[in-house]
Structure 1
């Protein structure tokens, strides 16, 4: 099986305009994401963007990029366009372009999952939540799974309901996905669903159409960058831990 990492990246953002090109300790955010993804067991990595500035930046630091249409409603739709243009890949790993501290272990766990279960259509990750504040925060998307680790539901609400308090029951969904290439294209053509619109979570479209999503637990914690405050937090982590963009 061949694995392609795709990093959707757009310039527009309601809370932090031009996120992919923001400087983080001498390198743009998109360079951090790309080079850390390249350290994994992926066969190749490509940035999918509709912005010439991002496209040129990726080429300038020696990465691969593809220009896509501007009318995509989400990253999955953009990835589907990439899939239709590229041959030779079996599984796509969707890597968020605003997570500059992505860990290779996270990507590799999805790769290994598809190698062990070649019929799998889609998989993602979860991380255990430790505090009530994290659990009640609607920005932390929660996921509950069945005994075989397939998603039952994703929600911004507290799930399961804490009738009997048990801190071991709460998991945050980590927004990195693996898909069979053909399934990405099929999924992107499905119309939006009621729960997807209500929760503003596109992965619910998969569940509402009767497909399964495997959810793997990870101990890795990542910091997504949505605001200037998040950006400064990432810079501090890199400085304090002396993280190099080219480390092996």
Structure 2
């Protein structure tokens, strides 16, 4: 995976209801979006840019030396936002792999960002993502924890069969906590954004099911830990504590 063909895009917007102004919340003296930008830059897998519709986010990123793409405000999802950003940044079509890194993962490790790329070495794989094994009952039964269900196809690798908020699969054996970091083959992203929302996507409220229902292949790399997303004030305090210790 050479740097010239991989683009990391971080979609960011201000519309979070539980944490207003989330991307600009201070963590150790830096806005949260800048922490995510730094992790992506440290991963050293390619060009990094923040895709946003908010001038305040753009200004904060630029102030800290980051690249910004201004996108339309009416995108229904982060995938649509990064596709618009891709077309702006690379109209010639030279980029082959697009990594979608959520803007509320300030504690993600650069190594985990790199971990999402190996499945795309297989030309049969359209999209790659991450998961970590679940070790507690609370995590297994929490509907806010999305479970990745798949067939093992190698060490630390699954071929995804389904994603669900339910506790699945049932019975004895491992369950996996899905981590919302994706690497798309360019053609897969182009196809994905043209597809209408699918029935299971709408039922589970999980965008990645649209790809599976369309017959696209998603492979999952198993990593050791789940990076903590920031959705609540308690999450914010946890992120501040973790990053203060770095």
TM range, smaller chain: over 0.9
What are the equivalent positions in structure 2 for 1:163-178 lying under 5 Å apart?
Answer: 166=172, 168-178=173-183
2:161 maps to 152
Q: Aligned in 2, Cα 1:79/1:29: closer, same or farther, shift over 3 Å? A: same
Q: Helix, strand or coil for the counterpart of 2:193?
A: helix
1:227 maps to 232
Q: CA deviation at 1:41?
A: 2.6
Which whole-Å CA distance do the structure 1 matches of 2:35 and 2:150 have between them? 32
Q: Summarize deviations over 1:32-66 as a string: whole Å, max 9, x none.
A: 00011100132110000010110111111100000
Give the TM-score, by structure 1 length.
Answer: 0.92
Give the TM-score, by structure 2 length.
Answer: 0.93
2:203 maps to 198
1:130 maps to 135
Which whole-Å CA distance do the structure 2 matches of 1:200 and 1:139 have between them? 11
Contact residue 79 and residue 184 of structure 1 kept, 8 A = no
Q: Aligned in 2, Cα 1:224/1:55: closer, same or farther, shift over 3 Å? A: same
- Shift >6 Å, 4+ stretches: none
- Gaps of at least 5 residues in structure 2 are none
2:46 maps to 43
1:246 maps to none
Aligned residues: 236
Which whole-Å CA distance do the structure 2 matches of 1:12 and 1:130 have between them? 32
Q: CA deviation at 1:186?
A: 1.3
Q: Helix, strand or coil for the counterpart of 1:38?
A: helix
1:182 maps to 187
Q: Summarize deviations over 1:88-140 as a string: whole Å, max 9, x none.
A: 311001101001011111111222332x3244210100100001111000010
Contact residue 103 and residue 220 of structure 1 kept, 8 A = no
Contact residue 70 and residue 85 of structure 2 kept, 8 A = no
Contact residue 117 and residue 128 of structure 2 kept, 8 A = no
Which whole-Å CA distance do the structure 1 matches of 2:128 and 2:148 have between them? 13
